[in-house]
């Protein structure tokens, strides 16, 4: 009697960061916003106007305080051998001249704007950044008008968590500066 062949439990195509970056460079995802999370492709929605305005505001505020050579807007991050994602803004340890994806060692702060994606910013992205050892992570929550500040990653989770309301000073990591978001 014929029996159905059993497939292994996980038959999904998985990619390494190197394979994913090769696909990106070849134009395989032109016109799409795609991330690689733990080896799997994830399509992202394009940002809406409120998201874009919040992103421009935080990048502008940081650049005024720290200088534009250390601030990046919407940039790609290679977090490990199976995860390549984009963040809304980042603050570098030092200027980087070459055109490349950033790595955790380059970063002192990563920022996500959560206009419609609070659960993703506060959940999946938080865990990915903590696991990669990103020292400080901000989730700018436009709905609640607060910034969730995560710091001190330990074993894949942030050990320091606080909330800063819009209109209050938000200390910029690695500096004596602060910004205020409205």
3-class secondary structure for the chain? CCCCCCCCCCCCCCCCHHHHHHHHHCCCCCCCCEEEECCEEEECCCCCHHHHHHHHHHHHHHHHHHCHHHEEEEEEEEEECCEEEEEEEEEECCCCCCCCCECHHHEEEEEEEECCCHHHHHCHHHHHHHHHCCCEEEEEECCCCEEEEEEEEECCEEEEEEEEECCCEEECCCCCCEEECC
Interval 46-66 mean pLDDT: 91
Q: What is the mean pLDDT of the chain?
A: 92
pTM of the entire predicted model: 0.89
Interval 142-171 mean pLDDT: 96
pLDDT class of 10 with cuts at 50, 70, 90 = low
* Lowest-confidence segment of 48-52, 53-57, 67-71, 83-87 by average pLDDT: 48-52
pLDDT class of 8 with cuts at 50, 70, 90 = low
Check pLDDT > 60 for residue 74: yes
């Amino acid at each position: 009697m014929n029996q159905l062949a059993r497939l292994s439990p996980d038959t999904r195509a998985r990619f390494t960061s190197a394979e994913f970056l090769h696909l990106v460079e070849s134009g395989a995802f032109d016109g799409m916003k795609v991330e690689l999370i733990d080896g799997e492709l994830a399509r992202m929605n394009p940002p809406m106007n409120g998201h874009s305005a919040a992103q421009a505001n935080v990048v502008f505020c940081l650049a005024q305080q720290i200088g534009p050579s250390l601030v990046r807007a919407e940039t790609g991050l290679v977090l490990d051998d199976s995860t390549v994602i984009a963040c809304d803004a980042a603050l570098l340890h030092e200027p980087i001249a070459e055109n490349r994806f950033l790595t955790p060692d380059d970063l002192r702060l990563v920022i996500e704007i959560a206009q419609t994606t609070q659960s993703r910013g506060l959940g999946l992205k938080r865990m990915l950044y903590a696991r990669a050892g990103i020292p400080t992570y901000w989730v700018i929550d436009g709905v609640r008008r607060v910034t969730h500040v995560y710091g001190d990653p330990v074993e894949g989770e942030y050990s320091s968590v606080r909330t800063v309301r819009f209109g209050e000073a938000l200390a910029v990591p690695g500096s004596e500066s602060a910004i205020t978001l409205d």
